[in-house]
Amino acid sequence: MNFHLRFIVMRNMNIANCSGVALVAAACLLGFAIRPTAAAADPKEVGVWYDDTGKGAVKIEICTPTTLCGKIYWLEEPMAADGQPKIDRYNPDASQRGRPICGLPVLGNLEQLSSGGFDNGWVYDPKEGKSYDVALDLVDSDTLKVTGYKGMRFLGKSFIWTRAPADLPSCAPDAAAAPTQVKPGDAKKQATGAAKKTTKSASGASKLGGTNVATAPNKKKAAVKEAATQPPPAASN
């Protein structure tokens, strides 16, 4: 092949390559993915569910790409006998007993299983102030089996929850807040760490002239208040 002919062939190959690139770019601009992937739908366990008593409802949400969590979304009787909102009075951690029941995290760290359902999570029962392991199994689109256990699932106890209507009102003013799923037992550690950090910061401010010393107690209170939004520590039976 002479030089002139080889040049023509190479030029045509380059044009073809450029045309291929242009087609790909055009496809991208037009919204056609080269490797289309359909967005995965939320697990059917997500939503608001009446518990087995029908007197309370829990909102189950996606907390991470692989885990679910849940908080109390509705109560038939949100007020205590004294007319005040019900609080987490039986929590084994005394510093957590002022938390309102409405909006209280009661499910967390539920991992999706390859065989279906969710397991390896925790559930908190504010009526007893106790935490258990928990698994979720969808019976049908409107029925959820919730199994609480300690260590061995087959020794646990199951309850049936039913899906609540979409227009069920929330009893918590912060119902739209982002979900949280801190493991039981972490809240007290977080509060202690935050308090130590605040004390250290106040000490440093004192050495620099004490401009922030007067606000240190308020920061400590804020740290404890923040920790109060976290789930309770685990409690033994």
Domain count within the chain: 3
- Collapsing DSSP to helix, strand or coil, 75 comes out as strand
- Determine the structural domain holding residue 199 and report its residue range: 187-227
User: Residue 235 domain-assigned?
Assistant: no
Read off the pLDDT band of 33 (50, 70, 90).
very low
Between 81-85, 110-114, 142-146, 169-173, the lowest mean confidence (pLDDT) is in 169-173
Between 41-55, 98-112, 130-144, 182-196, the lowest mean confidence (pLDDT) is in 182-196
In which region does residue 117 sit, left (phi positive, over 0), alpha (psi from -120 to 50) or beta (all else)?
A: left
Pairing of the two strands 130-140 and 143-149? antiparallel
Residues 191 and 218 occupy one common structural domain? yes
Calculate what percentage of the chain has a pLDDT beyond 90. Answer: 54
Residues 31 and 140 occupy one common structural domain? no
Model confidence over 222-236: pLDDT tens digits?
Answer: 443 444 445 555 544
Averaged pLDDT score across all residues of the chain: 74
* For the chain, counts of helices (H) and of strands (E): 3, 8
Residues 31 and 136 occupy one common structural domain? no
Residues 13 and 69 occupy one common structural domain? no
User: Residue 233 domain-assigned?
Assistant: no
User: Residue 66 domain-assigned?
Assistant: yes
Residues 141 and 74 occupy one common structural domain? yes
AA identity, residue 37: T
Place of tokens 């949280």: 180
* 71: pLDDT strictly greater than 50: yes
Q: What is the CATH number of the domain that holds 162?
A: 2.40.128.520
User: Residue 24 domain-assigned?
Assistant: yes
User: Residue 27 domain-assigned?
Assistant: yes
Residues 179 and 192 occupy one common structural domain? no
Residues 131 and 52 occupy one common structural domain? yes
Q: Distances in Å between the alpha carbon of 142 and those of 146, 199, 229?
A: 13, 50, 29
Residues 73 and 102 occupy one common structural domain? yes
Note the pTM of the prediction, 2 decimals.
0.62
Model confidence over 9-24: pLDDT tens digits?
Answer: 444 545 444 344 343 3
Residues 112 and 223 occupy one common structural domain? no
Calculate what percentage of the chain has a pLDDT beyond 70. Answer: 56
* 159: pLDDT strictly greater than 70: yes
